[in-house]
A and B are shown apart, each in its own frame.
Chain A
Amino acid sequence: DQQVKQNSPSLSVQEGRISILNCDYTNSMFDYFLWYKKYPAEGPTFLISISSIKDKNEDGRFTVFLNKSAKHLSLHIVPSQPGDSAVYFCAATNFGNEKLTFGTGTRLTIIP
């Protein structure tokens, strides 16, 4: 049972445009969500997170939106840059849970 789903395995976006990565979850107990970025031959790196008490969190070019009623979150990258080409994982957890549940990842390619 995949509790966190990233339905788009890949996405290509022109440099300078907006990249939107999507993530859906099924477990209504999740109340904290994270995005990770992974380059080849490196470990995933934490990018940005959001608590369920918010519907938006912004950090520079990265913004995460949370729609609790739809059990959906998205990561917006504006403007997209070539260095943003990577695999992006969303993850979810809840208070008191020591574990993260990850999605399967979306490979983002930024086209120069």
Chain B
Amino acid sequence: DAGITQSPRHKVTETGTPVTLRCHQTENHRYMYWYRQDPGHGLRLIHYSYGVKDTDKGEVSDGYSVSRSKTEDFLLTLESATSSQTSVYFCAIRTGYEQYFGPGTRLTVT
């Protein structure tokens, strides 16, 4: 258990509305990541952070933004949700080469 929590765990929202997902860690890890998991695509990196206010894009960053104002919190925002963003979202932290994941947020955009 890497001390990672995600909120909310489930969310249903309408197309065009903004959505923010939160990842919280308790062990002061420098690196934090946001992934989405979709059938046939595995885990794809959206954005990651290497410190407070330091973030970079992953392979599927379009339509998403992130913020990290405190070490323990990494927020993922969908500015205007679309149906293609229906997915399961996972947050992760890094220790050495390994990454450890949170329990996930299932997001449905109707």
Contacts and interface: CB of A to CB of B under 8 A. Distances in A.
Interface of A: 6, 9, 32, 34, 36, 41-46, 49, 89, 91, 93, 98-100, 102-105
Contact of A104 (B41, B45, B99): B41
Q: Which of B33, B44, B99 has the most CB of A within 10 A?
A: B99
Q: Summarize B's interface: helix, strand, loop or mixed.
A: strand
B36 to A, nearest CB: 11
Contacts, number: 49
Given A98-B48, A98-B94, A99-B48, A45 B42 contact: no
A89 B37 CA distance: 11
27 contacts: A6-B42, A34-B97, A36-B101, A41-B103, A41-B104, A42-B104, A43-B4, A43-B90, A43-B92, A43-B101, A43-B102, A43-B104, A44-B101, A46-B98, A46-B100, A49-B98, A89-B42, A89-B43, A91-B43, A98-B48, A98-B94, A99-B33, A99-B45, A99-B48, A100-B99, A102-B42, A102-B44
Interface residues of B, number: 23
B29 to A, nearest CB: 12
B58 A99 contact: yes
A49 B96 CA distance: 12
A8 to B, nearest CB: 13
